[in-house]
């Protein structure tokens, strides 16, 4: 089904052409209602573009909730139900008269962005997706597709093997954290359980079922977006979509940390480094060439399980007492110095990298109103290298007189009036100098899809505070930048907003609506399901 | 083994790489890359090698195997200066790690004039002597190497070289960090520094971890200058201009290239411009110090500052040579340098490097006990050097000040950048107090013990403590004598006893059956069985305990006014007064029942004796003690947020430098615990700030907040 397409593409089916006549759009006021759902730690946004004389144009950006959230299926069903009832247009496709969602954007394959497509499949079956947008990396015909998926599979396989080996008490904190990183964000189906059913080859490129479900629903061919491209919103000549990320440079999205050039860090080693670690943890897997990764010839090795235990030197100076370490150190003077498990801590770095790669594969885009030049920014969970890669992009865009003007990411950031805060407000997903500090519009407002209580509950031994979302300094700066116009998904009314923000015009535009029962056992305990505001185009 | 009539050898010769294996496959450097390390002859030296300071245990957990330990006393190995350098022989790896680590230790001891001790192992109740630092040459399968303060071990990793930018390796060929002189020296230095200043691993200021990194790099860099062949070759190549690109100023080349960087991992004086594909000298920028926050990058500023100071001193020292060699013009004619000139330049470079390294190491004695920053370190270096070499006629100190200034590193609380104001200020006569005189006189006793280690300490002579306390001090020094004695096997008891008192019936009995005088003898036996460093450890700890006792007595019976003068001078608070309570929320009170409840607790953090002779024959005879205190304070200060119940330990303290001749307090280097200089606020900002701005911080917590057990593991890995 999926063929690779970039900017220029022919629309195969364009239903109801009349209602979106281009001539009418000029000069007529357009606005967008941005609704942030309050499901918890996860993203689901519904954008409704409204213009007099036209049908509403609805775009959904992501639909997910962090795995392991209580009652997540019930919650997501209510969310999707609310989306369904909000949609005002219906279409008949293949004989089925269903609600019509013009565009569904899938930013990246993390559960907190896509789980809803699985959890609320029955409701989505009653909604047509006009067109699904995703990043170029999800295009099976893209030359890099296979490499990216196989790498992903290797990382996951290796990490799970490492987790199985972490047994020592000191590593329980690390183990918990790595487990969170894997299982909160990735569907169990991609974590490699069903190898037999698919065969080894297919397993290596397996996608999350929810993701595939959403992609297949696209009535038109899905649009796989490449950075540097620009197109107008179908039916709206004066609304442009700029694709910012993910970069097509493989190195860019594997680069995860701002300061790696001057440290021992670095992903420059390709993946040989990771694979040599995985070869040791996943001895039985044939993915990693275990023997080749051994540092020395076979005859130089003294097997640790049998031969070394009979070797006087190692018995005396390393010791093999398996009983739990005696804190006084008297029983076994070697116990506190043994290093049986220390090497496994690399799993932490590798898990982070996996998470970062995925975040860096985010489809990041900006929506521009041509008339007012206002920009809405949706970076997904893009991390620093994804943000940085935008800086190199330029577009040649004709102005009113038809003269081509150079547009850069910086210009778009300068004109941003709405910012969907990336990665629930963590501090590595909003760039400072090349990000928030460039958003200089006095009208700037922001939404953070976050559940602070949930984030804080992610306590492990190594991280007693849980996840800091939103990060304190970033949150402070956001409030300064936006003059308090920040909406958080975990606030069910505007009490705190009114403390933060004194802009009465803005406060008037904020609405809480719908109803959500988080706990099916308490159907009467209801709160608003979404918060929304209107941005004039 | 006894060898009648033949003196013990001075040194053991061991071959190794002067840099790392990558230089052995480059034509121009292959010949100089093999060096012979001349290290102290250790006896006994067991298989492993296991000596007095180090024990190499070669376990490779990722490969689930061990590698046979090397026996450096094997005649075949002795006869050929150790095994030949080889990447594929794990025994050579053990030899290399041992040789470089020992060289580093010796450099340290030479500069400080005393034996190096590792930081103690803290079990639940006590602090225990750690005789040997353990070295695991193949501990990790990752591009990383670190010092583990928990295990007192150096963990070296190995990893396949980058497949896309293999540098001088075959793609995916193995790189062993334990074969890099620079990495081994670097990690050993972390361990040595931790042995001296154990609070420096606490991440309380952007400079603390950076200081650890920088200092480790400085030691590794200047050790390059101790290889004469390399030095001569590089001087010939750069025509004496060490400020241009040379191997000497670069660190960990193979590692840098293998992880896909183009040049060395770190370069003190320049950097590789990836765009132009060539090396460029780095221009110092006074804003560097303000801007750079990542520990390695920040550390690099300090390294560059010290290296530039070295270069200016070297230039100064060789101008006359260059004039002589150029008929007085100072401009060398093109072409190769005369080999004699190369030799002379090399000698100057080697000597300068040794002196600069010694200055840097000696500075450690004059550092505050906690929360160090680069400015403090500059002041410490200047003070230590002024003390030892009052006349700076070669301009060494000026060179340091100048190059630090060029990078924006200066202490925040001084008025001018002159040598005299940078030096810690001398304690004036009117500030001297009786207590310091008393302490110094009493501490002389312990300094004496340290000087004559073969005598069993006569603890009865410890001044001014009770008999019960004397017994306590004795148990610190000697350990549990009864247990130790009973643990000796009969043959060992007999042998030692015989050596001690000839023709005496051999008591191989249990401790309880010994008569008192026999116990006295037995103690001597036990004392002789201890290594010198264990004796030093015990004496040092006893000195700390005695000092604590004296100061606790002092606060109990001195006049309140006198005590508050002591408090003002040292920044250590002893008495709970209304005034102090306001300033010092969170400092603990003494729990000991024998001490009244209105006393603050403090720690005698360290005790060191420094006896040095300067180039002009000036002797420095000092005792250096440091006292510390901590406060439990809320992390978020006065502005409560969602998680405002979090607290952290805010530490303060002082290093006191006492002159054993004049009995005066010479310098006080302090970090105020009362926050009168705003340090608490800055530390709060740092601990809650963007220090760990990475995804790791979101999921794993920030290193500075989580009491991380392995501070260097993350710093180097990830």
Give the tens place of pLDDT for each residue, B204-247.
888 888 899 899 989 998 998 888 888 898 888 888 787 777 77
Decide if B31 contacts B227 (C-beta within 8 A). no
Residue (of A314, A228, A321) closest to B60 by Cα position: A314
Residue range A435-446, pLDDT digits in tens: 898 999 999 999
Question: Cβ(A233)–Cβ(A239) under 8 Å?
Answer: yes
Show residues of chain B in contact with A269, CB under 8 Å. Answer: 143, 159-163, 258-260
Residues of chain A positioned with their CB less than 8 A from the CB of B699 = 177, 180-181, 352, 355, 458, 463, 467
Domain boundaries in chain B? 1-196, 202-413, 452-548, 558-675, 677-718
- Asked if A400 has any chain B CB less than 8 Å from its own CB, the reply is no
Inter-chain touch A181–B134, beta carbons under 8 Å:
no
Instruction: Kindly write down the DSSP assignment for every residue of B429-477, as one continuous string.
Output: GGG--HHHHHHHHHHHHHHHHHH-TTSPP-GGG-TT--HHHHHHHHHHH
* pLDDT at res. B401: 92
Kindly give the confidence (pLDDT) of every residue in chain A, 537 residues in length, as a single tens digit, with 9 standing for 90 and above: 444 444 344 444 444 444 444 444 456 789 999 999 999 999 999 999 999 888 999 999 999 999 888 999 999 999 999 999 999 999 998 889 999 999 999 998 888 999 999 999 999 999 999 999 998 878 888 777 777 777 777 888 888 888 888 887 777 878 888 887 787 777 766 665 445 444 556 666 677 888 889 999 999 999 999 999 999 998 898 899 999 988 877 554 454 433 333 222 333 345 777 788 888 888 777 777 777 788 899 899 998 888 888 899 998 899 887 665 555 545 567 788 888 888 888 888 888 777 777 777 889 999 999 989 999 999 998 887 788 889 889 999 988 788 889 999 999 999 999 999 998 988 778 888 888 989 999 999 999 999 999 888 887 766 777 788 888 888 988 999 999 999 999 999 999 999 999 999 999 999 999 999 998 888 888 999 999 999 998
B644 touches chain A (CB under 8 A): no
Chain B residues touching A291 at Cβ < 8 A: none
Three-class SS of residue B398?
Answer: helix
B175 contacts: CB under 8 Å, gap ≥ 6: B143, B158, B159, B160, B161, B169, B254, B255, B258
Residue with tokens 């984030």: A455
Which B residues in the span 68-107 are in contact with A, Cβ-Cβ below 8 Å?
A: 68-69, 88-90
Task: Enter the ipTM.
Answer: 0.84
pLDDT of residue B57: 95
Task: Output the pLDDT for position B166.
Answer: 42
Mean pLDDT of the B411-430 span:
82
Residue in chain B nearest A309 by alpha carbon: B66
Asked whether the beta carbons of residue B164 and residue A268 sit closer than 8 angstroms, the reply is yes
Interface of B with A in 16-55 (CB under 8 A): 47-48, 50, 55
Q: How far apart, in Å, are the Cα atoms of A177 and each of A42, B228, B284, B714? A: 19, 50, 41, 15
Would the CB atoms of A462 and B123 count as touching at under 8 Å? no
Asked if B68 lies within 8 A of A300 by C-beta distance, the reply is yes
What pLDDT shows up at residue B72?
A: 95
Give A428's contacts in chain B (Cβ within 8 Å): 693-695, 697-698
Partner-chain contact B699 A355, CB within 8 Å? yes
Reduced to 3 states, what is the DSSP secondary structure of residue A198? helix
For the CA atoms of B293, B299, B305, B306, the dihedral, rounded to the nearest 10 degrees, stands at 160
Q: Over the stretch B66-115, which tens digit does the pLDDT of each residue have? A: 999 999 999 999 999 999 999 999 999 999 999 999 999 999 998 888 89
Residue with tokens 């030093």: B536
Distance between the two ends of chain B, CA-based, in angstroms?
A: 48
Q: What is the pTM of this model?
A: 0.82
Long-range contacts formed by A411-414: CB under 8 A, 24+ apart: A412/A242, A412/A244, A412/A366, A412/A368, A412/A375, A412/A377, A413/A375, A413/A377, A413/A438, A413/A439, A414/A438, A414/A439, A414/A440, A414/A441
- Does the distance separating the beta carbons of A473 and B164 come in below 8 Å? no
Contact residues, chain A, for B704 at CB < 8 Å: none
B268 to chain A nearest CA, in Å? 12
Residue B107 CB burial class (10 angstroms; 0-12, 13-18, ≥19): buried
Paired residues of B172 in beta bridges: none
State the residue for tokens 């007999």: B494
Answer whether A20 touches B (CB < 8 Å).
no
CATH architecture, domain defined by B1-196: Roll (3.10)
Interface contact B151-A336, CB threshold 8 A: yes
How confident is the model at residue A22, as a pLDDT?
A: 45
**Of A273, A336, A462, Cβ closest to residue B701:** A462
Fold of B202-413: Neutral Protease; domain 2 (1.10.390)
Mutation for testing the A interface, residue in B147, B701, B703, B705 having most A CBs under 10 Å? B701
| CB < 8 Å to A275, chain B | 160
Residues of A in contact with B90 (CB under 8 A): 295-296, 300
Cα B273 to Cα B263, B264, B276, B393, distances in angstroms? 9, 12, 6, 38
- The maximal CA–CA distance of chain B, rounded, in angstroms, is 84
Query: Looking at residues B535-548, what average pLDDT do you find?
Result: 91
Contact between chains at A343 and B161 (C-beta distance less than 8 A):
no
Our CA-based measurement puts residue A178 at a distance from the nearest CA of chain B, in whole angstroms, of 9
Do A204 and A192 meet the contact criterion of CB atoms below 8 Å apart?
no
All residues at 6 or more sequence positions from B24 whose CB lies less than 8 Å from its CB, including other chains:
B17, B30, B33, B34, B85
């Amino acid at each position: 089904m999926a063929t690779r397409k970039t900017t220029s593409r022919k629309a195969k089916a364009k239903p109801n052409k009349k209602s979106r006549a281009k001539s009418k759009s000029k000069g007529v006021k357009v606005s967008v209602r941005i609704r942030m759902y309050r499901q918890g730690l996860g993203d689901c946004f519904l954008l409704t573009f409204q213009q007099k004389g036209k049908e509403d144009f609805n775009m959904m950006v992501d639909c997910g909730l962090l795995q392991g959230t209580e009652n997540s299926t019930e919650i997501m069903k209510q969310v999707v139900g609310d989306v369904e009832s909000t949609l005002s247009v219906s279409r008949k496709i293949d004989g089925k008269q269903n609600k019509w969602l013009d565009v569904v954007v899938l930013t990246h394959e993390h559960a907190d962005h896509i789980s809803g497509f699985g959890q609320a499949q029955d409701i989505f079956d009653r909604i047509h997706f006009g067109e699904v947008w995703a990043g170029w990396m999800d295009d099976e015909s893209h030359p890099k597709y296979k490499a990216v998926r196989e790498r992903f599979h290797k990382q996951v396989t290796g990490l799970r093997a490492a987790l199985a080996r972490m047994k020592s008490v000191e590593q329980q904190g690390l183990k918990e954290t790595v487990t969170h990183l894997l299982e909160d964000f990735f569907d169990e189906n991609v974590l490699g359980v069903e190898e037999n059913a698919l065969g080894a080859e297919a397993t290596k490129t397996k996608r999350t079922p929810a993701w595939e479900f959403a992609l297949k629903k696209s009535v038109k061919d899905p649009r796989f977006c490449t950075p540097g491209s620009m197109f107008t919103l179908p039916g709206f000549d004066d609304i442009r979509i700029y694709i910012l990320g993910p970069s097509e440079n493989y190195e860019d999205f594997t680069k995860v940390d701002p300061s790696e050039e001057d440290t021992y860090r670095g992903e420059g080693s390709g993946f040989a480094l990771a694979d040599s670690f995985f070869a040791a943890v996943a001895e039985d897997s044939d993915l990693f060439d275990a023997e080749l990764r051994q540092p020395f010839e076979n005859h130089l090795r003294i097997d640790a399980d049998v031969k070394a235990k009979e070797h006087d030197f190692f018995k005396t100076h390393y010791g093999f007492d398996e009983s739990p370490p005696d804190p006084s150190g008297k029983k076994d003077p070697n116990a506190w110095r043994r290093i049986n498990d220390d090497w496994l801590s690399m799993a932490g770095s590798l898990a982070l990298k996996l998470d970062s790669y995925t975040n860096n594969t985010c489809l990041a885009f900006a929506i521009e109103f041509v008339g007012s030049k206002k920009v809405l920014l949706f970076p997904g969970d893009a991390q620093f290298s994804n943000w940085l890669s935008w800086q190199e992009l330029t577009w040649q865009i004709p102005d009113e007189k038809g003269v081509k003007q150079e547009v850069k990411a910086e210009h778009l950031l300068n004109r941003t009036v709405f910012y969907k805060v990336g990665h629930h407000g963590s501090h590595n997903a909003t760039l400072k100098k090349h990000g928030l500090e460039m958003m200089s519009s006095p009208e700037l407002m922001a939404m953070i899809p976050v559940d602070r209580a949930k984030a804080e509950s992610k306590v492990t031994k190594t991280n007693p505070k849980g996840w800091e979302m939103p990060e304190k300094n970033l949150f402070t700066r956001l409030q300064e930048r936006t003059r308090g116009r920040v909406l958080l998904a975990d606030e069910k009314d505007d009490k705190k907003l009114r403390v933060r923000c004194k802009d009465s015009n803005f406060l008037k535009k904020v609405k809480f609506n719908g109803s959500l029962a988080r706990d099916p056992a308490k159907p009467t305990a209801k709160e608003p399901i979404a918060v929304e505001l209107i941005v004039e185009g | 083994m006894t060898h009648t009539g033949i003196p013990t050898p001075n040194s053991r010769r061991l071959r190794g790489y002067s840099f790392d294996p990558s230089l052995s496959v480059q034509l121009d450097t292959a010949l100089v890359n093999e060096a012979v390390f001349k290290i102290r002859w250790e006896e006994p030296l067991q298989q492993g090698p296991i000596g007095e300071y180090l024990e190499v245990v070669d376990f490779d957990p990722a490969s689930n195997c061990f590698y046979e330990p090397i026996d450096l006393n094997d005649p075949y190995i002795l006869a050929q200066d150790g095994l030949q350098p080889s990447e594929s022989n794990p025994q050579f790896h053990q030899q290399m790690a041992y040789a470089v680590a020992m060289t580093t230790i010796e450099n340290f001891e030479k500069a400080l004039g005393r034996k190096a001790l590792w930081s103690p192992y803290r079990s639940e109740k006590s602090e225990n002597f750690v005789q040997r630092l353990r070295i695991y040459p193949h501990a990790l399968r990752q591009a990383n190497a670190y010092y583990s303060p928990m295990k007192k071990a150096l963990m070296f990793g190995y990893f396949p070289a980058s497949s896309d930018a293999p540098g001088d390796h075959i793609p995916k060929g193995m790189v062993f960090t334990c074969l890099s002189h620079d990495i081994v020296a670097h990690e050993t230095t972390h361990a040595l520094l931790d042995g001296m200043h154990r609070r420096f691993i606490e991440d309380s200021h952007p400079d603390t971890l950076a200081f650890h990194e920088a200092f480790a790099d400085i030691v590794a860099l200047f050790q390059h200058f101790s290889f004469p062949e390399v030095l001569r070759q590089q001087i010939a190549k750069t025509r004496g201009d060490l400020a241009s690109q040379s191997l000497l100023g670069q660190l960990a080349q193979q590692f840098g290239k293998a992880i896909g960087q183009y040049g060395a991992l770190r370069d003190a004086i320049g950097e590789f411009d990836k765009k132009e594909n060539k090396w460029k000298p780095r221009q110092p920028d006074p804003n560097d110090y303000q801007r750079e926050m990542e520990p390695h990058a920040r550390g690099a500023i300090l390294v560059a500052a010290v290296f530039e100071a070295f270069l200016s001193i070297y230039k100064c020292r060789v101008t006359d040579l260059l004039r002589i060699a150029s008929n007085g013009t100072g401009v060398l004619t093109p072409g190769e340098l005369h080999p004699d000139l190369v030799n002379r330049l090399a000698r100057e470079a080697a000597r300068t490097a040794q002196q600069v390294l010694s200055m840097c190491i000696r500075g450690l004695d004059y550092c505050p006990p906690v929360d160090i920053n680069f400015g403090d370190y500059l002041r410490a270096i200047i003070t230590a050097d002024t003390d030892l070499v009052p006349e700076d006629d070669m301009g060494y100190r000026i060179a340091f000040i100048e190059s630090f200034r060029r990078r924006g590193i200066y202490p925040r609380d001084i008025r001018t950048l002159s040598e005299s104001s940078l030096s810690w200020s001398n304690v004036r006569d009117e500030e001297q107090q009786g207590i310091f005189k008393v302490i110094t006189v009493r501490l002389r006793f312990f300094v004496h013990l340290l000087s004559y280690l073969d005598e069993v300490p006569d603890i009865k002579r410890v001044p001014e403590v009770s008999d019960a306390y004397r017994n306590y001090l004795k148990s610190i020094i000697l350990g549990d004598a009864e247990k130790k004695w009973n643990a000796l096997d009969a043959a060992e008891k007999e042998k030692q006893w015989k050596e001690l008192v000839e023709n005496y019936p051999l008591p191989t009995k249990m401790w309880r059956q010994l008569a008192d005088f026999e116990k006295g003898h037995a103690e001597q036996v036990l004392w002789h069985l201890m290594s010198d460093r264990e004796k030093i450890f015990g004496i040092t700890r006893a000195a700390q305990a005695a000092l604590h006792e004296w100061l606790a007595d002092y606060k109990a019976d001195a006049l309140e006014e006198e005590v508050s003068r002591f408090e003002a001078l040292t920044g250590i608070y002893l008495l709970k007064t209304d005034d102090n309570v306001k300033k010092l929320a969170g400092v603990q009170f003494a729990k000991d029942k024998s001490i009244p409840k209105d006393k603050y607790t403090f720690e005698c953090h360290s005790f060191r004796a420094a006896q040095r002779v300067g180039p002009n024959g000036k002797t420095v005879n000092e005792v250096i003690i440091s006292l510390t205190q901590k406060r439990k304070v809320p992390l978020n200060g006065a502005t409560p947020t969602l998680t405002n119940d979090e607290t952290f330990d805010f530490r303060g303290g002082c290093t006191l430098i006492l002159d054993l001749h004049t009995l005066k307090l010479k310098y006080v280097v302090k970090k105020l615990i009362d926050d009168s200089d705003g340090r608490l606020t800055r530390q709060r900002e740092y601990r809650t700030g963007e220090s760990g701005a990475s995804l790791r911080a979101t999921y794993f917590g920030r290193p500075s907040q989580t009491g991380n057990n392995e501070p260097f593991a993350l710093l180097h890995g990830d």
